[in-house]
Amino acid sequence: MLDLRFIRENPDLVRKAIQDKGDKADLDRLLALDVTRREIIGAVENARAQQNKVTQQIAEMKKARQDATAVIAEMRGLSDQIRSLDDKLKGVEEEIYQIQIRIPNIPHESVPVGDPSHNQVVRQWGEIPRKGFKPLPHYDIADRLGLVDFGRAARMSGASFVSYRGLGARLERALINFMIDLHVSKHGYTEVSPPFVTKRDAMFGTGQLPKLEEDMYYIPGDDLFLIPTAEVPVTNLHREEILEGEELPLLYTAYTPCFRREAGTYGKETRGMVRIHQFDKVEMVKFVKPEGSYDELEKLLANAEEVLQLLKLPYRILCLATGDLSFAAAKCYDIEVWAEGMEKWLEVSSCSNFADFQARRANIRYRAFKGAKPEYVHTLNGSGLALPRTVIAIMENYQTAEGAIIVPEVLRPYMGVEVIR
């Protein structure tokens, strides 16, 4: 969330951010209401100053045994006026707040401006495999090898759900353990295992609400949401807290299932595992000091890249343009892995810096030193990695002409086999 004073002092910058992100927040209405708000506050202050004078006058008149009836009536009129102004102020402030929480974060100056066609390829790693045969798409080879049961999952839960089985389930579990072990033992993250449901204010803190509520799975009886990503519960670990400067940066990693209705993308990529309603993901979350947050973003990106490098899967990095940035992000890199069977790039990670946008919504602050005034931290997160498309890339890039799948070397200690037949 952007600070109201910042919005007031930088209207052109905020207006450009709204336009560049393709948003529709009513900035002009907010600015007009802000003027009204300050006028009401001025009127309240004047009325209270007059009330104080009248109160003193009544006391002096009573002390002098004078008739204070008229002055007491004036006092009552001032009290009614202040009460009416306070009610009006509450209404104006609530309307300001409802617009304020819908204003997106300001994109960093390094972010390209434009729609998704303006996303910039930063670099590419690895060689695209050139096989001497036509590789199968993942849904065909997974079905042939009995790794994923699409039909029974659909009968059980509906379209766009999958059920892993046998070595498919073991591959999923192996990837989760491998990623968590890497982030903890080499990259310095602390593993956490958060709840898979959160309250409304947690979803608001990370920016999913109110904008994306239709994409969330909601439990009405408890007013809880199934998490769309571990970003939500892990970022909210320090909600309403003041951290000490020497604690920062704080690095967390977590495995969770993720649940998304994908309400805005119905009908897209419905076959296989490219876009499903429930999927596993390993997440990385950082709480850092503002001055180092963009250096921390590059480190976060490198941590996610190393997963793919160790798996020996070719990938590319995109710096997202303003029109492709999320509501809350100031800058984001997408990592796309190559899927040979589908012959396309698939997103497996988004690494984002939110600056202090989420911290303001969740009230997460820190003291630079003992006794210092609390400041808002910067929050970052990135997938390290999302599982379904990573599994797709392994199935499609590591398949053999005989229809087997070679297990990546780093996964063999977790899998217990070298080839899936």
Confidence tier at 263 by pLDDT (50, 70, 90): low
Beta strands (DSSP E) in 118-271 are 120-125, 148-149, 163-164, 190-191, 197-199, 218-219, 224-226, 242-244, 250-259
123: Cα within 13 Å, side-chain hemisphere: 5
Residue 39 domain boundaries: 4-100
Q: pLDDT tens for residues 287-339?
A: 999 999 999 999 999 999 999 999 999 999 999 999 999 999 999 999 999 99
Here the CATH number for the domain that contains residue 342 is: 3.30.930.10
Give the amino acid at 61. Answer: M
Last residue within a domain, chosen from 65, 100, 135: 100
Examine the domain organization and report whether 31 and 133 are in the same domain: no
Q: Of these residues, 350, 361, 365, 396, which one is catalytic?
A: 350
Examine the domain organization and report whether 193 and 302 are in the same domain: yes
Tell me what pLDDT residue 271 has: 82
369 domain-assigned: yes
The answer to whether residue 20 scores a pLDDT higher than 90 is yes
The answer to whether residue 266 scores a pLDDT higher than 60 is no
Mark whether 155 is an active-site residue.
Answer: no
Query: Which residues lie closer than 8 Å to 61 by C-beta, 6 or more apart?
Result: 67, 68, 71
Examine the domain organization and report whether 206 and 342 are in the same domain: yes
Top-confidence residue, 379 or 129: 379
Q: pLDDT tens for residues 103-112?
A: 999 999 999 9
Closest CA to 369 of 254, 220, 240, 243: 243
Examine the domain organization and report whether 81 and 180 are in the same domain: no
CA distance 297 to 172: 27
Segment 46-50 mean pLDDT: 94
Q: How far is CA 94 from the centre of its chain?
A: 24
The answer to whether residue 268 scores a pLDDT higher than 60 is no
Examine the domain organization and report whether 161 and 124 are in the same domain: yes
Closest CA to 414 of 197, 177, 74: 177
The total number of structural domains in the chain stands at: 2
Percentage of residues in the chain having pLDDT higher than 90? 91
Examine the domain organization and report whether 210 and 320 are in the same domain: yes
Examine the domain organization and report whether 309 and 401 are in the same domain: yes
Q: Of these residues, 239, 260, 361, 365, which one is catalytic?
A: 260
Examine the domain organization and report whether 79 and 173 are in the same domain: no
Last residue within a domain, chosen from 38, 69, 100: 100
Percentage of residues in the chain having pLDDT higher than 70? 98
Examine the domain organization and report whether 275 and 409 are in the same domain: yes
- The torsion defined by the Cα of 30, 33, 34 and 37, in degrees rounded to 10, comes to -150
Average pLDDT along the chain: 95
Tell me what pLDDT residue 246 has: 95
Q: Of these residues, 170, 239, 261, 275, which one is catalytic?
A: 275
Mark whether 347 is an active-site residue.
Answer: yes
In this predicted structure, which of 7-21, 182-196, 218-232, 265-279 has the lowest mean pLDDT? 265-279
Q: Map tokens 């392994």 to a residue.
A: 394
The answer to whether residue 285 scores a pLDDT higher than 60 is yes
Tell me what pLDDT residue 62 has: 87
Examine the domain organization and report whether 123 and 58 are in the same domain: no
The answer to whether residue 131 scores a pLDDT higher than 90 is no
Q: Of these residues, 213, 269, 347, 375, which one is catalytic?
A: 347
The answer to whether residue 264 scores a pLDDT higher than 60 is no
Rg over CA atoms, the chain: 27
In this predicted structure, which of 225-239, 246-260, 262-276 has the lowest mean pLDDT? 262-276
Last residue within a domain, chosen from 100, 131, 154: 100
CA distance 183 to 175: 12
Examine the domain organization and report whether 319 and 173 are in the same domain: yes
396 domain-assigned: yes
171 domain-assigned: yes
Tokens matching residue 334 = 């997408």
In this predicted structure, which of 81-90, 260-269, 273-282, 382-391 has the lowest mean pLDDT? 260-269
215 domain-assigned: yes
Tell me what pLDDT residue 419 has: 97
Examine the domain organization and report whether 303 and 387 are in the same domain: yes
33 domain-assigned: yes
Segment 15-34 mean pLDDT: 97
The answer to whether residue 169 scores a pLDDT higher than 70 is yes
Here the CATH number for the domain that contains residue 36 is: 1.10.287.40
105 domain-assigned: no
Mark whether 9 is an active-site residue.
Answer: no
110 domain-assigned: no
106 domain-assigned: no
Contact assessment for residue 313 and residue 126, using Cβ atoms and an 8 Å cutoff: yes
Mark whether 389 is an active-site residue.
Answer: yes
pTM of the model: 0.93
